[in-house]
Chains A and B, each alone.
Chain A
Amino acid sequence: MSTEFVIHNRCRLALHTLSAGDGRALLLLHGLGERSPGTVPVFAQRWSGPVVALDFTGHGESTMPVGGGYTAEILLADSDAALTHLGEATIVGRGLGAYVGLLLAGARAEHVYGTVLADGPGISGGPSVPTSQPVFSLESVDRTPDPYALVELGRDLRPPDYAATFSRMAVQRSALDEPITVVARFRPSWLQAVVEEPGVAEAGSIAEALVSYRS
């Protein structure tokens, strides 16, 4: 495994190459509180291109910010920095990474060739409507994951219609007929809304979903 760093504003983000290969990269986005895997996951072992994995801000070997301020949209920009570095990629997102992967699929549809949304930590997010959520502050720690990431990204608002808009953007602008495949078995309201959109496929496993995204 080799690691390089991409820059997103004031943060250095660790981008790990788990295996080399020819062709389009497979970009793995981890779940909330996780970090990139150290080896190629079983589901990606038949991928012919490079398999790379990004540590989000405040996770793994990436910068731990001071004073919190996390949003899923900031992680979208993290993954966009990785995508720019790679040129184009197929995405597999776990949990929080699935939600971020969906946002990236919509925002950069021309550069994302298929996105797989899988179960994992942080898949629920927070409420889908406004609530009186507490204002809090947390003790700082000296290594990732950042406690602010765990709390703020564990409760970020994910209205179903907002999520559905991103899948619509992906479907309208992707070269694929079905640019998003949902393999997650647990489906919070944002993900259920995505599944119900035209152009969103379902599959029984990540490996199965990736078959249709091989170049």
Chain B
Amino acid sequence: MRRSVNQVLESYAELRSLHHVPTASPSLAEIAGGRAPDREYRINADGVGIAVHEWGDAVAPPLMLAHGGFDFARTFDTFAPLLADAGWRVVSWDHRGHGDSDHAHLYSWDADLRDAAAVFEHAAGRHAVPAIGHSKGGALMIQLADAQPYRFASLVNIDGIPSKRPIPDVAEHERTKMLVGELTGWLDHRQRTAGSQRKPGTIDELAKRRGRMNPRLSTEWLRYLVTVGATETDEGWRWKLDPSLRFGGFGPWRPEWALMRLAGFGVPFFGMLVEIEEEMGWGTVPDDVRPFIPEGGRLEMLSGVGHFAHIEQPTEMAGRVLDFLGAPE
């Protein structure tokens, strides 16, 4: 029987509170409050194996969920079950090179879009379905909705609306020097990646490393993420993320171009930005976005949370999303 949003959230809060009760040997999942997907499988996206993770009833209406850069679908282990328990079949996937998906020869924004379209096609055919995107996943969904609007019934964006990069007011030659530094750093990295592997370590070491990207998330959560986002080898745990992927970079793409696509949306849109800026976010502020919100769209600024709002406050975030989506049909 489908439960109301409030029932789902109340039972989740109860479940979370239970985790504070000492038990003989609570698992990391219990401590962190994560729930594994109900189904996991792979699809072939033009030769690249993409790992798909689903929570909820297999015949419930699909709700697509796109993760951010350097994340993976299992980072939704607290957020996705709340949506599933409200009656959705939540479908997420690991971008190529992330999580359990194949490490590809090449990576690009277009390739990520193509892989995403393959997952939509597999999960929903050519039916319009709602989608949620966080961070890079939010920006990807904005572009996919522009290129293939027939796939989208509505779109929720969690701190994934890029805007113009905050470039310091520096002289032209200094700016050139900064770009040269980025370029040579990236090219040097490309020369080292053949056969390279992620650095091994203990669960605590990997959790500490990830903590630099996720400074507001609890140690318990980060330790849990290691168990679902890393592989245990003889030398220790290694993140599954392709070592050839590198944070930052350069290219002709301008973050603010996403806003131009956003303005033309023909489906309900709900965007959320966060008050607390973090390294992994774009630092977009409401004034950047407001002029481009499509007619009838919503934009909310979330106070007191950072870029990973859905992990920091899964119950509240799920409540907002479910309120916007309404009951599954």
Chain A residues near B (Cβ < 8 Å): 7-11, 57, 63, 65-71, 73-74, 76-77, 80-81, 84, 106-108, 130, 132-138, 140, 152, 156-159, 162, 165, 168-169, 172-173
* Contact assessment for B47 and A162 in the assembled complex, using a CB-CB cutoff below 8 Å: no
Interface-located stretch among B83-91, B107-115, B124-132, B308-316: B107-115
Pick from B118, B176, B184 the residue with the most CB of A within 10 Å.
B176
In Å, the complex CA distance between A68 and B146 comes to 21
Nearest CB in chain B: distance from A33 CB, A:
17
Q: Which of A57, A70, A135 has a CB less than 8 Å from the CB of B117? A: A135
* Contact assessment for A162 and B147 in the assembled complex, using a CB-CB cutoff below 8 Å: no
Q: Which of B148, B176, B183, B257 has a CB less than 8 Å from the CB of A135? A: B148
* Contact assessment for A135 and B144 in the assembled complex, using a CB-CB cutoff below 8 Å: yes
Contact partners of A169 in chain B: CB under 8 A:
176, 179-180, 183
In Å, the complex CA distance between A7 and B191 comes to 8
* Contact assessment for B191 and A69 in the assembled complex, using a CB-CB cutoff below 8 Å: no
Give 23 pairs: A residue, B residue, CB < 8 Å, sorted on A: A7-B194, A8-B190, A8-B191, A9-B244, A10-B194, A57-B105, A63-B105, A65-B105, A66-B46, A67-B105, A68-B106, A68-B108, A69-B106, A77-B186, A77-B187, A130-B257, A132-B146, A135-B110, A135-B147, A137-B45, A157-B252, A159-B254, A169-B176
* Contact assessment for B191 and A70 in the assembled complex, using a CB-CB cutoff below 8 Å: no
Our count of residue pairs bridging A and B at CB distance below 8 angstroms stands at 122
In Å, the complex CA distance between A165 and B176 comes to 7
Interface residues on chain B, size class: 35 or more
Pick from A84, A140, A157 the residue with the most CB of B within 10 Å.
A157
Q: Which of A11, A107, A133 has a CB less than 8 Å from the CB of B105? A: A11
> With A84-B191, A133-B147, A172-B176 in contact, do A57 and B106 touch (Cβ < 8 Å)?
yes
Nearest CB in chain A: distance from B167 CB, A:
13
In Å, the complex CA distance between A62 and B17 comes to 57
* Contact assessment for A152 and B176 in the assembled complex, using a CB-CB cutoff below 8 Å: no
Contact partners of A74 in chain B: CB under 8 A:
106, 108
Q: Which residue of B lies closest to A70 (CB)?
A: B106
Contact partners of B183 in chain A: CB under 8 A:
106-107, 169
* Contact assessment for A76 and B187 in the assembled complex, using a CB-CB cutoff below 8 Å: yes
Nearest CB in chain B: distance from A192 CB, A:
16
Contact partners of A152 in chain B: CB under 8 A:
108, 110
Q: Is there a chain A Cβ closer than 8 Å to B153's Cβ?
A: no
* Contact assessment for A68 and B111 in the assembled complex, using a CB-CB cutoff below 8 Å: yes
Contact partners of B146 in chain A: CB under 8 A:
132
Nearest CB in chain A: distance from B282 CB, A:
16
Q: Is there a chain A Cβ closer than 8 Å to B58's Cβ?
A: no
In Å, the complex CA distance between A156 and B282 comes to 24
Nearest CB in chain A: distance from B180 CB, A:
6
Contact partners of B186 in chain A: CB under 8 A:
77
Nearest CB in chain B: distance from A133 CB, A:
7
Question: Which DSSP category, helix, strand, loop or mixed, fits chain A's interface?
Answer: loop
Contact partners of B194 in chain A: CB under 8 A:
7-10
* Cβ proximity bits B139-171 to A, threshold 8 Å, 1 near / 0 not: 000001011100000000000000000000000
Contact partners of A10 in chain B: CB under 8 A:
103, 105, 194, 244
Q: Which of B45, B46, B147, B253 has a CB less than 8 Å from the CB of A134? A: B147
Nearest CB in chain A: distance from B215 CB, A:
30
If A108-B187, A159-B252 are given as contacts, then 5 extra A-B residue pairs at C-beta distance below 8 Å, sorted by A number, are A69-B106, A107-B183, A130-B261, A135-B147, A169-B176
* Cβ proximity bits B185-200 to A, threshold 8 Å, 1 near / 0 not: 0110011011000000
Pick from B47, B96, B105, B148 the residue with the most CB of A within 10 Å.
B105
Contacting A at CB under 8 A, from B22-59, are: 45-48
> With A9-B193, A107-B180 in contact, do A135 and B105 touch (Cβ < 8 Å)?
no
* Contact assessment for A107 and B187 in the assembled complex, using a CB-CB cutoff below 8 Å: yes
In Å, the complex CA distance between A152 and B191 comes to 23
Q: Which residue of B lies closest to A83 (CB)?
A: B187
Contacting A at CB under 8 A, from B230-257, are: 244, 250-254, 257
Pick from B106, B187, B194, B261 the residue with the most CB of A within 10 Å.
B106
Q: Is there a chain A Cβ closer than 8 Å to B280's Cβ?
A: no
In Å, the complex CA distance between A138 and B193 comes to 28
* Contact assessment for A67 and B45 in the assembled complex, using a CB-CB cutoff below 8 Å: yes
Pick from A9, A68, A157, A158 the residue with the most CB of B within 10 Å.
A9
In Å, the complex CA distance between A84 and B188 comes to 10
> With A10-B194, A158-B252 in contact, do A66 and B48 touch (Cβ < 8 Å)?
yes
Q: Is there a chain A Cβ closer than 8 Å to B20's Cβ?
A: no
In Å, the complex CA distance between A198 and B224 comes to 55
* Contact assessment for A67 and B104 in the assembled complex, using a CB-CB cutoff below 8 Å: yes
- Counting from the closest, the 5 A-B pairs by CB-CB distance are A69-B106, A65-B105, A69-B111, A67-B48, A66-B47
* Contact assessment for B187 and A67 in the assembled complex, using a CB-CB cutoff below 8 Å: no
Contact partners of A68 in chain B: CB under 8 A:
46, 106, 108, 110-111, 114
In Å, the complex CA distance between A66 and B108 comes to 13
Q: Which residue of B lies closest to A67 (CB)?
A: B48
* Contact assessment for A173 and B180 in the assembled complex, using a CB-CB cutoff below 8 Å: yes
